[in-house]
């Protein structure tokens, strides 16, 4: 289905990025110069901030005029308060104006809005542009990955569309705390070009050709984070968290490899790296929602307190449907679906998981 590759290939071990105040000397000749970011939430704004630090001019698009005005005043006080944005970033509510002259277009809207947003944008896209997905999840009705949705909505070839995934909590990155990520594309040279473009002194991209693996990892970890947050909210300890992280990793690996992804991807930044970050920080909307529910809040109450879309809630059911269609066992995902879609209790979720029959350890399912 998708070519396999590990996430261990480091674009910068071959060609170090250039330096201004942010980059090192010896920049490769092929680089993006003008980027667009569709979406003005925390991650979209943070990635625009990264691109501007790397020396690009960045245009952002969003529907909310108030947020757009904030960004043009050099601070997204709604989603990223306290972070001063570069003069190289401008925002607009006109999507065609935003993507005009952009050779790198980054999609940072919620998964459910990706198709409609790109159908609106496609007539103005440069046919030679590179598209980069920053979204994580599956489309609800079609069960398709974001990469597939982007290709369908725009008509772009799969080799022109990349995805980014890794332990990338927006606030920490915006505060210039060091992190790494993975840029995946079937065209590894294109992935390398993106990685070189957005590499800064605190943001280090690796590259991969396993698009499918990165997307499955990014989608499933959000669901696992809801379960782990619920355990935290109930007052359970590190043993429980470690158990859920480990078994959650097994779930995402089983699903990914069944669909054709490489098992190595799930042992890298896009897999265990992103899973640990999302399942350990209150900066994660998915984890925080689980914590609130574990402390007794209803789903509606927990969602109302979330500062943005909680993809783990939206993606849980399509992920489970995809798993069932391929006969893949995903008990943690199933338990989250029972809570957020079927109205089951958090307490019963734990009981269900602990009463399952014995299995061999690891990501392959084998009965004792």
Per-residue pLDDT reduced to its tens digit, 322-345: 999 999 999 999 999 999 999 888
Structure tokens at 139: 């489309």
Mean pLDDT, residues 4-23 taken together: 36
User: Is 136 tagged catalytic?
Assistant: no
> How far is 52 from 197, CA to CA, in rounded Å?
10
Domains and CATH numbers, the chain: 11-210 (3.40.50.720), 213-354 (1.10.1040.10)
DSSP state of 16: P
Express each pLDDT in 106-132 by its tens digit: 999 999 999 999 999 999 999 999 999
Query: Please, which residues have CB within 8 angstroms of residue 220's CB and are 6 or more apart in sequence?
Result: 248, 251, 252, 255, 319, 330, 333
Predicted confidence band of residue 307 (pLDDT cuts 50, 70, 90): confident
Q: How confident is the model at residue 367 (pLDDT cuts 50, 70, 90)?
A: very low
Q: Which residue has the higher pLDDT, 208 or 343?
A: 208
Q: What is the pLDDT of residue 18?
A: 37
Residue 3 has what pLDDT? 36
Q: DSSP states of 155-176 as a string?
A: ---GGGEEEEESS--HHHHHTT
Q: Quick check: 28 pLDDT over 70?
A: no
Mean pLDDT over 71-88 rounds to: 96
Catalytic one among 136, 221, 282, 359?
Answer: 221
Question: Comparing 358 with 59, which gets the higher pLDDT?
Answer: 59
* Average pLDDT for the chain: 89
366 versus 228: the higher-pLDDT residue is 228
pLDDT of residue 224: 95
180/165 Cα distance (integer angstroms): 9
pLDDT tens digits for range 121-165:
999 999 999 999 999 999 999 999 999 999 999 999 999 999 999
- Cα 131 to chain centroid distance, Å, stands at 15
Cα distance between residue 349 and residue 114, in whole Å: 31
244-270: per-residue pLDDT in tens? 999 999 999 999 999 999 999 999 999
């Amino acid at each position: 289905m998708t070519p396999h590759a590990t996430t261990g290939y480091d674009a910068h071990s071959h060609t170090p990025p250039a330096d201004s105040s942010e980059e090192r000397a010896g920049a490769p000749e092929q680089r993006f110069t003008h980027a667009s970011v569709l979406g003005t939430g925390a991650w979209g704004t943070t990635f625009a901030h990264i691109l501007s630090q790397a020396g690009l001019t960045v245009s952002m698009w969003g529907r909310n005029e108030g947020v757009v005005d904030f960004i043009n005043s050099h601070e997204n006080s709604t989603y990223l308060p306290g972070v001063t944005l570069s003069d190289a970033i401008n925002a607009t509510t006109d999507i065609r104006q935003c993507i005009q002259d952009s050779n790198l277009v980054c999609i940072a809207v919620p998964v459910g809005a990706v198709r409609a947003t790109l159908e609106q944008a496609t007539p103005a896209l440069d046919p030679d542009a590179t598209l980069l997905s920053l979204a994580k999840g599956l489309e609800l009705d079609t069960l398709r990955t974001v990469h597939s949705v982007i290709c369908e909505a725009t008509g772009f070839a799969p080799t022109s569309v990349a995805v980014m995934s890794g332990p990338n909590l927006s606030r920490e990155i915006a505060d210039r705390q060091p992190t790494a990520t993975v840029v995946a594309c079937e065209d590894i040279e294109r992935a390398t070009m993106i990685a070189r473009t957005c590499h800064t002194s605190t943001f280090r991209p690796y590259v991969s050709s396993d698009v499918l693996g990165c997307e499955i990892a990014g989608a499933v970890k959000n669901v696992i984070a809801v379960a782990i947050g619920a355990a935290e909210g109930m007052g359970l300890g590190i043993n429980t968290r470690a158990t859920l992280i480990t078994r959650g990793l097994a779930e995402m690996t089983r699903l990914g490899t069944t669909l054709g992804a490489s098992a190595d991807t799930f042992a890298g930044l896009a897999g265990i790296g992103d899973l640990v970050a999302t399942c350990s920080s209150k900066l994660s909307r998915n984890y925080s929602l689980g914590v609130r529910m574990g402390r007794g809040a209803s789903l509606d109450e927990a969602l109302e307190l979330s500062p943005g879309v909680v993809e783990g809630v939206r993606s849980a059911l399509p992920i489970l449907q995809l798993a069932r269609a391929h006969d893949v066992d995903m008990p943690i995902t199933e338990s989250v679906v029972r809570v957020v879609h079927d109205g089951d209790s958090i307490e019963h979720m734990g009981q269900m998981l602990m009463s399952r029959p014995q299995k061999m350890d690891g990501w392959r399912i084998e009965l004792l």
